[in-house]
Copies of this chain bind each other. A is one copy, B any other.
Amino acid sequence: MNDTTFVACAQLEPVLGDEAGNVARTCRALHSAADLGAQIVVLPELASSGYAFTDRDEARRSAQPADGICVTAWAAVADSRGLVVVGGFCESDGTDAIYNSAVLIEGSEIRAVYRKAHLWDRERLIFDAGQEEPPVVDTHLGRIGVVICYDLEFPEWVRIPALAGAQLLAAPSNWPEAPRPAGERPGEVLRAQAGAGVNRMYIAVCDRVGTERGVDWVGGSVIIDPDGWCIAGGQPSTESGIVLAECDLSLAADKAVGGLSDIHADRRPGLYAPVTHES
């Protein structure tokens, strides 16, 4: 393949409130992924801080600006190893607000900061919700969109970067453990597969592992191809490690799904429900 790109998810275990340690953990994981040949590396949601904050004040103490120690360290590794990095961090922008954010870094440059728009469970008590669409960034490796975890459960949100031409949607996540029938993939994986398939784009979800204040995660990091099949990962795990796949991102330019059918051109946007503005 002419257009082979190695995409990795660096599944790991952040430690709540240990910002310095999390810089070290995540940078080691970026190097490990680069050692395996990864060119695009996705880190989990809130990789700078851990997840299970008791309240807003505790989250604020872990929050950093986009040019804080964590993102700056990621950019240094990205620059030295020639990586594109997408990772989640706990963001303060200098106001009273706190965001569950993700950054897209290309070499030394912060190309985009995204703030999670769909806040899961108690996150709404801790973070401010993002008010902007998922970014889509033209990198030297391809066109990459960014969302975070629960955002993936809203097909309207996945559609936005897809229609903007994203070839790969990178989703830093902390998928909470939930019941499932024996032998089934996690439901979050199935729904990410559907999001990839109905948009014919790659999706890379980086999940976390470890237990934090009684919360467990799926550890189901996965890379999904434009047909919607898992090409790496996608099974629950309690282990840190690199999930790596060889991707031909150019495939995502072709939305044909059989004969005369085109999964984007066949949409009927004139018939879809009118947007209702939130109160």
Binding site for B on A (CB under 8 A): 117-122, 124-125, 129, 131-133, 150, 153-157, 159-160, 163, 176, 178, 180-181, 184, 187, 190-191, 193-195, 197-198, 227-229, 257-261, 263, 266-278
Contact = CB atoms under 8 A, between A and B. Distances in A.
Chain B CB within 10 A, most for which of A120, A121, A261: A261
A275 B272 contact: yes
Given A156-B273, A176-B258, A270-B275, A190 B187 contact: no
A249 to B, nearest CB: 20
B275 A268 contact: no
Contacts of A275: 269-270, 272-275
Contacts of A129: 268
Contacts of A278: 268-271
B195 A266 contact: no
Q: Is the interface of A mostly helix, strand, loop or mixed?
A: loop
A181 B150 CA distance: 27
A38 B35 CA distance: 58
Contacts of A187: 193, 197, 227-229
9 contacts: A117-B268, A118-B268, A122-B259, A133-B273, A154-B267, A156-B273, A187-B227, A190-B228, A269-B276
Given A157-B272, A270-B277, 12 more contacts: A118-B268, A120-B258, A121-B260, A133-B271, A156-B272, A178-B258, A181-B229, A187-B228, A269-B275, A269-B278, A270-B276, A275-B275
B122 A260 contact: yes
A265 B142 CA distance: 34
Task: Please list the 7 inter-chain residue pairs (A to B) with the smallest Cβ-Cβ separation, ordered nearest first.
Answer: A155-B155, A194-B194, A121-B259, A270-B278, A270-B277, A156-B272, A191-B194
